[in-house]
Structure 1
Amino acid sequence: MESMIFRAFSLNGELDLNKLAASLGISKRYRWEEPMLLSPVTFTLIDEPEKEQLMVYLYHFGGVVFVNCPEEVISRLFTELKSVCDIFRDTPQLKYKDDYQLKIDDSAKPVITNDYAVMPSSGHVFVGIISFVIAKSVALEQIEERIDAVLDEVEEYIELLRRGKLDISDDKLAKLAATILTFKHTSISYVMVLDKPDITWDNPAADQLYKTMANLFEIAERFQEIKHKSDTLKDVLEVFTSLSHAQRSSRLEWIIIALIFVEIILTLFWKS
């Protein structure tokens, strides 16, 4: 039984494939939903993957999936791309990653699990779908962890609010708003995670592989959960902003009252 090893990473942000292609001397233009399939050794395009070939899929949403690549090849690609694409400079700290295996057995029935798939052939369609699903999964994992961290921070402010305090500065509100809007933007950008690859419409085996893997990795459910949490954070931010404005208005009213009082006292003083 032969096998192909996949290792997926999530970069810290979106990847401009057209800019990367230009830096590598590649004239092809990429649509947002179209991945770049590259040789990690020669940095040239690959037309169709082969089961013993070293390759890497790169996606606009920041997913990077290596196929059949040893550790030194992975490290070399990240090192080489640092000079042409800023987003690769944070790769030593990459914590969002996953491994998968495609086992090829002509006599076996198809089997698909969270860790591996058994297929009768290593057709490039299957390789592309596996890469696409695990790339989306690790990208979602990164967003999930970040949004949970923001929710934890917001809960601290909610607890203060329960005690009748609102200790949050305008700068902090602005940063919180920027973070939440980033999550909202990311959610919109990830609409493609709910779309099936075009090949699945004409290839029943590819369609079954995609549906099963997307279900196992809970892609749609995780996307909806991120969207729900983003909406919740947006609602909380609106409450904080309204309370902060009300607090500022109240403070301004007291200042005006104090100034009027001082003016009256001074007027009476000068008249006397």
Structure 2
Amino acid sequence: MADQEKRPAPAELAVDHDQPAPGREADMQLKPDSDLSNYKPACKLVGKVALITGGDSGIGRAVAIAYAMEGADVAIVYNHSEDDAAETCRLAEQRGRRCLSLLADVTVKADRERIIEETVSRLGRLDILVNNAAYFEGDGTLPELEEEGLRRVFDTNIIAYMLMAQVALPYLEKTSGCIINTSSTTSLLGKKGALAYSSSKGAVNVFTKSLADELASRGVRVNAVLPGPFWTPAIATSSEETVKTFGSFTMMGRAGQPEEIAPAYVFLAADASFMTGALLEISGGFKSVD
């Protein structure tokens, strides 16, 4: 895909910076490439239903569109941008599939239950749960951490993943479905100034492996995707200096676009019948030394 169109260099991304958190794709000048215009579907998910938290923009949007192109109906959960969610559904429905848009907070028990119930009642089943919602605000170095922000990061990035899986499990068992968790390469490398986020993603890795072991005998696979630097609305909330160098530290010298990671989620949902407990890194290649 990268050889079919120009991918922005880090400095070109700097037109978008210091946006209000958590970021809106609709407000970005250089929008993430998440329309899957280069993707070649192969009818791998016909008849399936996927639920994607954080599905309104960025990686979540690209995954929703890829699944729709492969024949799945999709439900997306969003917590902030109704405009972004509506656009994601429009793009999925443009591919001939149903898309259910659900405004919810994955840290709230009643919302989690409603998300699963509405997905199954309106789309008929549940085959794939993609835990993708994330929270970044309130992070920083150790002296900068505030308890409220720290708790929100863990509530969203790992506790909600566990509890979403808990509610979805009875339906996933019926379909021999799968769970795909979005982690991060910071879970392996750490990241200065992102103690809470990196630590929460490390917990996602251990959760993925532990739950995979627990559910293997019940016919449900559990894997994780570990994105490196990807151009999403969340990054556009960073400072201009941060955005200017975003992705420059990879072997490929740039940030990835959501279109370039969505196929990994298709692979884990459709083609990876002998994979569970795996951590699939999509990073553009991290250098061993700076």
Q: Confirm or deny a common fold (TM above 0.5).
A: no
| Larger RCO: 1 or 2 (CA < 8 Å, sep 6+) | 2
What is the TM-score of this pair, normalised by structure 2? 0.28
What is the TM-score of this pair, normalised by structure 1? 0.29
Q: Flag the structure with higher helix content.
A: 1
* Structure number with bigger Rg: 1
